[in-house]
Amino acid sequence: MLGYTCYGPRSLTSGTFDLYWIAVDPTARRGGVGRKLLAATEEAIRKLGGRLMILETSGMQTYVPTRNFYLNTGYTLEATLKNFYKEGDDLVIFTKHL
C-alpha cells in the first residue's frame, strides 16, 4: 500500500465533506501518488453528492510542503486561525468546490 485517504460528510451540512487524512508512504512521495489519491477521493465524494471539500492542516513550518500540495491541486486557502493547536501553531483551512 502506497497511501490512503480518510474522509466523511460534515455534520449539519448538505454536500460538504471533510478530508480527515491523506497519507503517502515516504518512499513514494513526489511520484504522483498523493495527486492520484486526492483525485480519486474527490471523484468518490462527487458520486456521494459532495459539492465542497474542506481540508485542515497545521501552520507550522514543517507543513509548508503539505500546504503547497493543497494549493497546487486546486484548493483555496480559506482561513487561518492563529494559535489554534498551540502558541505558534495555526489551523490552516483549505476548500475546493467540486
Q: Which domain holds residue 18?
A: 3-97
For residue 27, give the CATH number of its domain. 3.40.630.30
CB 76 within 8 A of CB 96: yes
- pLDDT for 74: 97
Task: Report the alpha-carbon angle 41-31-22, nearest 5.
Answer: 35
CB 17 within 8 A of CB 53: yes
Counted domains in the chain? 1
Contacts of 31 (CB under 8 A, 6+ apart): none
The mean per-residue pLDDT over the stretch 53-57 comes to: 98
pTM for this model (two decimals): 0.92
**3-state DSSP assignment of residue 93:** strand
Predicted confidence (pLDDT) per residue in 66-94, tens digit: 999 999 999 999 999 999 999 999 999 99
